[in-house]
Structure 1
Amino acid sequence: MLNFNKDRFVRIQSGGVSIAGEAQLLMRKLLAEGIERLYFMGTGGVQLLTLPAIELAQRRSTFPVSAQYPAQVVLDPPAGLDGNAVVVIPSLSGTTKESVELMAFLKKRGVRTLSLTGHSDTPIAREADHNFTNFAEDDTSSESFYLQTLLIVLALLAERREYDGFDATVAELQLLPGLLADAKASFEDKAAELAAIIKDDAYHIFTGAGSVWPEANYYGMCILEEMQWIRTRPVHAADFFHGTLELVEPGVSVFVLKGEDATRPLADRVETFARRYTDRVRTLDAASVELPGISAEVRSLISPVLLATLLERLSAHLEVLRNHPLTTRRYYKRVEY
C-alpha cells in the first residue's frame, strides 16, 4: 500500500477508541456537578469532524449539544457560555491560534473545558480542565477525531440513560482499527484507479447526508481545496435539488457519499438524478466496507469513519500522481491567524 504504515495506523485508531472508559467517568462526574450544556468548538476542518457526534446527540437526546466557531465565539459568544457549560476543543497540533485564544476566553468566563489533542505538551492540552491526548498526524486524524467525539457523546447519552449498550458498542469499536486497515487494503486498487481518472479534474461536486455530510464537506474543503488546490462544491444532499442540480451536465464530476443511517435515501436520490446527466458520478458507500463482528447498529454510527479511511487512500495516490504533496500550501504560513 502506498505510503501506509499499518501498525502505526492501528495504534493511533486504537488510541482513539481507548478513551471510552475515561470519557464515561468524566461525563458521569460532569453531570453530577450539574453541567447543562455541551459545546464542540474546533477550528477549521477538525470542527467538521465533530458534527456527526453532535447530530447524533441532537437526534437522541434533549440535552443541549451544539457546535460553535472559536474565532466567532470570542467576538460574539452564545448565550449559556458559563460555568454550567462544558466546551470540547479538538486540535491536532494543540497550538491552533484561534483555539488558544478561545481557551483563554473560556477560562475567564469560568467555562469548563475538555481538549482533544495529538500532543500533550501543548497550550491547548495543558490549559484545559480535562484532556485526552492521542498522537495522530494528518493522514490518521480524521478517524481518530470521529471516534473520540462519538465516544464522548455516547458516554453522555449512556449516563443520561438515553443510550443502551455503551459497553457492547465499545467492545465492537475495539475491533474497528484492524478492520479499517483491512478496508484500506481492499480499496487500494480502486483508489489508485480513481486517482488516475480524476487527477487532472479542476472541479468536483461533493454531496452526502446525515452523518456522512460532514465528511463530504471536509474532503472537498480540507483535502482537495486546501491540500490539492482543486475547486469543489460541497452541498448537502437535502439541498442538492435547490440549486446545485443546475450545475450537473456531461463531464461534471459528482461524488456521492452514502452512509448507513436513516438519511441514505437523500443520497440515493442525488445519485439517481446525477447519473442521468453526467457519466462522471463516483459513489463511495459505507455499506460496501466489510466489517465482520460489527453490528448494524454500530455500523450506522461509524459511516463517516469508514468513508474517511477510504478517501485517505485516494488522497495518498492523488498527491503522487499530481506531484503535489498534501503538505504543500500557498498561503498557510503567510496568513495572519
Structure 2
Amino acid sequence: MNPKAIIKEILEKNDIAHVVFVGCGASKADLYPAKYFLDQNAQKLSVSHYTSNEFNYATPALVNENTIVITASLGGTTPETVEANAVAKAKGAHVVSLTRSEGSPLTKDADYVIIHGFAENYAAKLEKTGYALQLAVELLNQTEGYAHYEDMQDGFDKIYELSQQSALSARKEAKLFAEQFKDEDVIYVMSSGATHEVAYSTSVCLMMEMQWINSGTFHAGEYFHGPFEITDKDVPFILLMNDGTTRPIDARALTFLERFDAKTAVVDGLDYGLSSIIEKSVIDYFNPFVITAVFRVYAEELAKARQHPLTKRRYMWKLEY
C-alpha cells in the first residue's frame, strides 16, 4: 500500500491530531526531513521525533487512537524500535513501519508496512527518507491541505535520479576528501534545516560507528553558541550546505571556518543542480537526499583510504548490550 492510500485509510478510521516519528541511529535521522516538513507547514498537527527507547520509557501522553506513529529500522530487527511498535499499538495508535526486510520483527505490531530498497544503488538508500516524507506530505494534505502538494510530487519524481547521478559524479571530490581526512583523530560535522540530522547520522554512524573516528555534531546555527571556540587552523570540519531557506546559516558558519583556516570539507546541494529541477517552494525538503547520496561516496572513499571497511564493527552485532 502506498503512502497516500495508507493515510486515507487511517483517516477513515480516526481523526489524526498527532504524528510521532520513532527510530534509532541512522533510521531516526532518516525520519527527520519528514518531521521538519511538518514542523514548517502544519498548523494543527502536533509533531514529535523520538529515539526509540526514550519513546518506550517516557512515552508521550498524546499517543492514542488520534496518533500516527511512524517507525523505521533498516533490517527490521532493532529491538528498541520493535518494542516501540508494541508500545504504540498498546495505546491505540496507528503504526506505520518502514523497513527493507519483509516479515521482520518490526512488521509484527505494525498496522501498515512499507518495504524500501537500500543496497541496489545510491538512490535506493534514500527510499526510507522518501517514504517517510511522502507520508508526512499526504498527512498534511489530507488533513489541512498543502498549497505546494504538486511541487512536492514533482520533486519526488525527480529527486532519486538526481541523487544517483550526483553520487556518481562525486567520486573525484570524494577521493580528495579521503586523502585529506584519512589521518584525522576527530572530525566535526554540521548542517541546518532538513539536513540537520544528516549531519547527525554522518557523525554518529559513518564516522563513529563505521570508521571509529571521534566525532561531534551540532546545528550550524548553534556553531556560534559554543562549538566555534574550538575552531583553529587545520581543525577538521564537514559542512553539509543547504540550497534553500537556511543557506545563510550554513554560509555564516563557512565564512567563520575559512576565516581561521579550519580544514573544511563542504558538500553543497547547490553544486549538484538541486535548484534546477526542484521548485523553490519545496527545495528545503530535498537537500537531504542529494547530500546523503553524495556523502555516502565520500564515506566509501574514506574507508578505502583508511583500509577500514564500512562494515567493520567491534561491538555491534557481536556482543550482548
Fold shared per TM-score above 0.5: yes
Shorter chain as normaliser: what TM range? over 0.9
Identity over aligned pairs, percent: 25
Secondary structure in structure 1 of the residue aligned to 2:281: helix
1:123 paired residue number: 105
Q: Distance in 1 between matches of 2:211 and 2:269?
A: 24
Secondary structure in structure 1 of the residue aligned to 2:23: coil
Q: Distance in 1 between matches of 2:320 and 2:55?
A: 18
2:71 paired residue number: 89
2:39 paired residue number: 58
1:68 paired residue number: 50
Q: Distance in 2 between matches of 1:25 and 1:43?
A: 26
2:313 paired residue number: 329
2:206 paired residue number: 223
Deviation, structure 1 residue 268 = 0.9
Q: TM-score, normalised by structure 2?
A: 0.92
Cα 1:71/1:330, change in 2 over 3 Å: same
Are the counterparts in 1 of residues 27 and 72 from structure 2 also a CA contact under 8 Å? yes
Q: Distance in 2 between matches of 1:287 and 1:109?
A: 44
Select which of 15, 21, 24 maps to 2:4.
24
Letter of the 1:70 partner, please give it: S
Q: Distance in 1 between matches of 2:105 and 2:308?
A: 31
Cα 1:306/1:205, change in 2 over 3 Å: same
Select which of 274, 289, 297 maps to 1:313.
297
Deviation track 1:191-213 (CA, whole Å, cap 9, x = no partner) reads 11111111111111211111111
Q: TM-score, normalised by structure 1?
A: 0.88
1:110 paired residue number: 92
Letter of the 2:37 partner, please give it: L
When the two structures are aligned, how many residues end up with a matched partner? Answer: 317
CA-atom RMSD, angstroms? 1.9
273-282 vs 88-97, which moves further: 273-282
Are the counterparts in 2 of residues 92 and 137 from structure 1 also a CA contact under 8 Å? no
Question: Gaps spanning 5+ residues in structure 1: where?
Answer: 1-18
Q: Distance in 2 between matches of 1:208 and 1:117?
A: 26
Q: Distance in 2 between matches of 1:279 and 1:153?
A: 38
Deviation, structure 1 residue 231 = 1.0
1:270 paired residue number: 253
Are the counterparts in 2 of residues 49 and 142 from structure 1 also a CA contact under 8 Å? no
Cα 1:138/1:127, change in 2 over 3 Å: farther
Deviation track 1:109-151 (CA, whole Å, cap 9, x = no partner) reads 2222000010112121243101111132497565222211111
Q: Distance in 2 between matches of 1:235 and 1:169?
A: 28
Q: Distance in 2 between matches of 1:161 and 1:109?
A: 25
Deviation, structure 1 residue 31 = 2.7
Are the counterparts in 1 of residues 192 and 249 from structure 2 also a CA contact under 8 Å? yes
1:164 paired residue number: 147
Select which of 234, 246, 265 maps to 2:217.
234
Are the counterparts in 1 of residues 193 and 284 from structure 2 also a CA contact under 8 Å? no
Give structure 1 regions of 4+ aligned residues with deviation exceeding 6 angstroms.
none
Are the counterparts in 2 of residues 118 and 137 from structure 1 also a CA contact under 8 Å? no
1:49 paired residue number: 30
Q: Is it true that 1:80 corresponds to 2:62 in the alignment? A: yes
Deviation, structure 1 residue 264 = 1.3
